[in-house]
Each structure stands twice: as C-alpha cells, then as structure tokens.
C-alpha cells in the first residue's frame, strides 16, 4: 500500500541519480513502491533531476508554496533553505504536507481543510524519518497512513 510521502529539497541542478540515491538511502526497510507522493517547494517545478526521478518511478510530484511550507514546524531549520528559498526547511514540511494531502484526499477533504484543524492533521501524517542529507539532497519521509481512530476523527470534524 502506498502510504509514504517523500519530501525532497535539493541544490540547483541535482541529478535524478543523486536524488534517487538519497531517497534509497533514507527509505530503509521501505520500498520505492511504498511512496504515494514526492513533495517539494514550488520553485522546484522545473528542476530536471527531480522531474526525471518522479517520471522514472511514475510518482506524482506535489509542489507547495512558501506560505504553506512556512506554516509547518521544522525540527532542523536550515540556513541554506532560509537564504535560497526563504523558508526554514523544505524536505520535512513538504513530506508532511504531501502526507496530509494524501490522507485528506482519502476521506474526500482538500488540503486547505487541515489548516482549520491541526490536531487531526498532525496525527494523520507523522514524520517517520526526519531531515537526512545525502550529497546535497535533503530527504524526509512522512506517513499518510491513518489509524481507524484518526479516520473517525477526520470524518467527524471535517466532512460535510
């Protein structure tokens, strides 16, 4: 079952192979087939290596705005991310946002709905691997898999 959201931050012109090596290094016991989505900041929309990595594995790429990313908690703030893209981190918040988006889509709720209800959202997308740096690529992994209690909470609070 595809339940993982992989958040990726990378330097300009990182290759698909560099991104792939970093993702494989961080996946641990998980397989690439467990990935539901890859997520990054909107400024990476034309990043060839990221696009090639996603195409190679037929993975959707979700892009999030600086504002969405800035609203998320970052456990390891990055001076480089702050300097280059204006946020405290990319991979962790993007992994969480991607997982939230996947989890909320499963119950028919758009991503904006989680902003009004942070407690269920936090339980819906735990960070399972924090920021890990591999040769200029940062990777974090969040899970979109919810428990039955999380699903019940989401259904009770956010569905019409």
Report which DSSP code applies to 44.
G
Specify the pLDDT at position 124.
52
Specify the pLDDT at position 117.
41
| Contact of 70 with 95, CB cutoff 8 Å | no
Give the model confidence (pLDDT) of 121-149 as tens digits.
444 578 999 999 999 999 999 998 754 33
CA 61 to chain centre: 9
Domain ranges for the chain, please list them: 4-158
Pairing label, strands 35-41, 4-10: parallel
How much is the pTM?
Answer: 0.80
> Which option is the CATH number for 4-158: 3.40.50.2300, 3.30.420.180, 1.20.120.80, 3.30.230.10?
3.30.420.180
DSSP-assigned beta bridge partners for residue 79: none
Q: Rounded CA gap, 6 and 143, in Å?
A: 9
Specify the pLDDT at position 106.
52
Residues of the chain under the 50 pLDDT cut = 109-123, 147-160
Contacts of 58 (CB under 8 A, 6+ apart): none
Give the model confidence (pLDDT) of 91-107 as tens digits.
999 999 999 988 776 55
């Amino acid at each position: 079952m595809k339940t993982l959201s992989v958040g990726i931050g990378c330097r300009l012109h990182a290759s698909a192979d560099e991104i792939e090596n970093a993702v494989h290094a961080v996946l641990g016991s998980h397989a690439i087939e467990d990935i539901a989505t890859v997520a990054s900041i909107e400024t990476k929309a034309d990043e060839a290596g990221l696009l090639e990595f996603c195409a190679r594995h037929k993975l959707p790429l979700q892009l999030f705005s600086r504002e969405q990313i800035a609203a998320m908690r970052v456990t390891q703030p990055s001076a480089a991310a702050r300097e280059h893209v204006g946020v405290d981190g990319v991979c962790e918040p993007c992994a969480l946002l991607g997982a939230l988006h996947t989890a909320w889509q499963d119950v028919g709720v758009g991503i904006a709905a989680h902003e009004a209800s942070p407690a269920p959202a936090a339980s819906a997308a735990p960070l399972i691997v924090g920021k890990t740096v591999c040769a200029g690529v940062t990777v974090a992994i969040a899970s979109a898999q919810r428990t039955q209690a999380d699903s019940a909470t989401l259904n009770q609070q956010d569905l019409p």
